[in-house]
Amino acid sequence: MSFADSPVLIVNRGEIAIRVARSCKALGFPVHCIYSDADRNSEYLQYSEKAYALGSSAPKESYLNIEKIIKIAKKSGAKLIHPGYGFLSERAQFVEEVTQAGLIFVGPTAASMRTMGNKIEARKTVDRLGLLRVPGSLDRVNSAQEAAGFAKQVGYPILLKAAAGGGGKGMRRVDSENNLPGAFDAAAREALSAFGDEGLYVEKLIINPHHVEVQIFGDGLGSAIQLGERECSVQRRHQKIWEESPSPLLEKFPSSREKMFEAAIKIAESVNYAGAGTIEFIMDEKGNFYFLEMNTRLQVEHPVTEWITGIDLVGWQLLLATGQFKLPASIPVRRGCAIEVRIYAEDPVSFLPAPGAVHEIRLPSGPFVRVDSSMMRSGEVSVFYDPLIAKISVWANDRTECLQRLRVALDETEVRGELNNVDLKLGSLMTNLRFLQKLVRNTKVLAGETSTDLIIREKKFLDQTQTPLNIEAAIAGALVNLTSLTGCPQHKHMVSLWERQARNEGILYP
Ligand code: ADP
């Protein structure tokens, strides 16, 4: 098949659509994209030559609507379909329909998605390979009684997890048999409403674990390589907000790292995996690790790996899809340290989404600072989709330097909601930016002691964070001596957007 001048259709939105478009352009592919009503004015549309309307904004009617997307794909003349992450990126049915339409899905086959992208099937595969997974039931459990049987085997506390779960949703901790029947019914109801599937399985709850994952890349012919690990233990609501490589925990256990890499490659090769994928593990403080799940797609946090390996992962995906890829003869060298943080539109206390208008945004720059965002000047965080505003990642020779660089980058960043939004109204934008600015100064984070319960353990330290949303708060914030608040002398010289606005309005000292 010749790919000359045939566009890549990116069937996603936001920052990942821009990210993918950049690699397409670098390799000479024209870029086409799709948009829903809510995205009519989104910045990412400016990165593509043609944009096709999907209509309604609800995901089911737009970015998850296979029929509409296949129709657009045929009309666009695209030969390659890039799914980004989320939405249809892990739907085997979508891969099949793309293939049936004579087009190429940039990603793994439907078969490997069915085997490894499904949590239960993946656990069975890992068992067959003789690797360690989190202990618990191998299959779905049909009743609280059945769950209690597994809980007895592995010991309390356990986690009830939705078989069709994802995005940190559908998990429920159970500490004793007495609580199991109630928890089981509630978890099944939640799973049904969130995923349309009430199936649950049981896992032993690993106490204060670390989340460590391995980036792999497979050639689709039975060979795969590892591209290093990422530690993603800083989480809220079981979802990542900070990812880094190398993993501070694995630095203490070099032999666990080698075993983890071997396990990840074995899993990828067992399904003839094609392209970028991530094998996630849960690890305890003694260096024991257990398979958690596989993500059969590009990961949100892939920039961390790109920093330490110098590889353009999307570029590799495109080369593989067009038959121009060969795995390197030796494993790419990993250099230095990289950290990524995710700025979300969310309440910094409850961590629930708080989307709204972004009146002004100032994103950082400087040596070894990367920003992945679809908001360059202003925009809107839609209620319909993931409330990610920006990913900021930095690279340095070592972790200490990397943390310093990240602190400066976060201090340069400002995200501001509606202009003159004097009252804190429901529907006003809130962000976790101040929270992240505190996090990068936390002693546990600085020491690399970041198990998944860190945010709960450090609540007191992190709770001082507030995101000023209005002029009153801006004045209050600006008048506080920020040096004493953060212990960071750089703040003295920063003029925040809040402060600038107050100055413009003559409310604050010049
Ligand atoms: P999802 O697919 O919804 O993201 P995962 O299975 O990947 O769910 O788990 C997300 C996070 O939840 C993990 O990174 C970890 O913090 C926590 N978690 C999941 N399973 C366990 C477990 N068995 N013990 C302890 N923590 C867990």
pLDDT band at 460 (very low <50, low <70, confident <90, very high): confident
Note every long-range contact of 228-232, with CB atoms under 8 Å and residues 24 or more positions apart, other chains counting. Answer: 228/305, 228/308, 228/309, 228/334, 229/257, 229/260, 229/261, 230/299, 230/301, 230/304, 230/305, 231/450, 232/301
Q: How confident is the model at residue 81 (pLDDT cuts 50, 70, 90)?
A: very high
Residue type, 453: D
Is the pLDDT at 4 greater than 60? The verdict is yes
Whether the pLDDT of residue 406 is over 60: the answer is yes
Pocket perturbation via mutation, ligand 1, pick of 132, 137, 171 by most ligand atoms within 8 A of CB: 171
**Cα–Cα distance, 181 to 192 (Å, whole number):** 17
Q: Is the CB of 159 under 6 A from ligand 1?
A: yes
Average pLDDT, integer, range 382-405: 97
pLDDT score of 510 more than 60: no
| pLDDT value of position 8 | 98
Residue whose CB lies within 8 A of the most ligand 1 atoms, among 214, 292, 456, for a mutation test: 292
User: What is the set of active-site residues?
Assistant: 297
How remote is the CA of residue 282 from the centroid of ligand 1, in Å?
8
Q: Give the confidence band of 244 by pLDDT, cuts at 50, 70, 90.
A: very high
Which residues, at least 6 apart from 291, have a Cβ–Cβ distance to it below 8 Å? 122, 123, 126, 131, 132, 133, 134, 263, 267, 279, 280, 281
Cβ–ligand 1 contact at 235 (below 6 Å): yes
Question: CA 358 from chain center: how many Å?
Answer: 21
* Confidence grade of residue 461 (pLDDT, cut at 50, 70, 90): confident
Mean pLDDT (the chain) is 90
Closest-lying ligand 1 atom to the alpha carbon of residue 280: 7
Q: What digits encode the pLDDT tens for the residues 145-169?
A: 999 999 999 999 999 999 988 888 8
Confidence of residue 425 (pLDDT cuts 50, 70, 90): low
Ligand 1: atom nearest CA of 211 is 14
Backbone angles phi, psi at 355, to 5 degrees: -70, 170
Cα dist. 78→69, 360, 450 in Å? 12, 35, 44
Residues 6+ apart with CB under 8 A from 400: none
Tell the residue nearest (CA) to atom 18 of ligand 1. Answer: 238
Judged against a pLDDT cut of 60, whether residue 35 lies above it is answered with yes
Counting from 1 in the atom list of ligand 1, the atom nearest the Cα of 168 is 3
Return d(Cα 402, Cα 243) in angstroms, integer: 12
AA letter at 331 = I
Question: What mean pLDDT do residues 428-457 have?
Answer: 95
Residue range 6-16, pLDDT digits in tens: 899 999 999 99
Cα(272) to centroid of ligand 1, in Å? 26
What is the reported pLDDT for 505?
Answer: 44
Residue 69 has pLDDT above 90, yes or no: yes
SS3 (DSSP) at 65? coil
Q: Given this model, what pLDDT does residue 301 score?
A: 98
480/221: higher pLDDT: 221
Quick check: 489 pLDDT over 50?
no
| Whether residue 508 has pLDDT greater than 90 | no
Is 139 a residue whose pLDDT tops 70? Answer: yes
Alpha carbon distance 368, 402 (integer Å): 9
Take atom 12 of ligand 1 and give the residue whose Cα is closest.
238
- Its pTM stands at 0.90
* Whole-number pLDDT of residue 499: 52
Average pLDDT of the residues in 216-230? 98
168 lines ligand 1 (CB under 6 A): yes
Q: Which one is predicted more confidently, 382 or 492?
A: 382
Lowest mean pLDDT among 32-46, 68-82, 261-275, 426-440: 426-440
Determine the distance separating the centroid of ligand 1 and the alpha carbon of 350, expressed in angstroms. 19
The arithmetic mean of pLDDT across residues 456-465, rounded, is: 80
Mean pLDDT in residue range 379-405: 97
Express each pLDDT in 296-339 by its tens digit. 999 999 999 999 999 999 999 999 999 999 999 999 999 999 99
The span from the CA of 61 to the CA of 454, in Å, is 38
Q: Give residue 130's region: left, alpha or beta (phi > 0; psi -120 to 50).
A: left
C-alpha span between 211 and 7 (Å, rounded): 37
| Interval between CA 209 and ligand 1 midpoint (Å) | 10
Mean pLDDT of 454-461: 91
User: What is the average pLDDT across 246-269?
Assistant: 98
- What are the residues whose beta carbons fall under 8 Å from the beta carbon of 190, sequence distance 6 or more? 162, 169, 170, 172
Structure tokens at 171: 């998990």
Of 103-117, 146-160, 185-199, the one with minimum mean pLDDT is 185-199
DSSP 301-359: THHHHHHHH---HHHHHHHHHTT-----SSPPPP-SEEEEEEEESB-TTT--B--EEE-
Residue 382 C-beta-side C-alpha neighbours within 13 Å: 18
Q: Which two tokens stand for residue 298?
A: 């590009």
Q: How confident is the model at residue 421 (pLDDT cuts 50, 70, 90)?
A: low
Residue 243 Cβ < 6 Å to ligand 1: no
pLDDT given for residue 418 in this prediction: 75
Q: Which of 27-31, 364-368, 493-497 has the lowest mean pLDDT?
A: 493-497
pLDDT at 259: 98
Q: Which of 160, 235, 282 to mutate to test the pocket of ligand 1 (most atoms within 8 A of CB)?
A: 282
- The band of 474, judged by pLDDT with boundaries at 50, 70 and 90, is very low
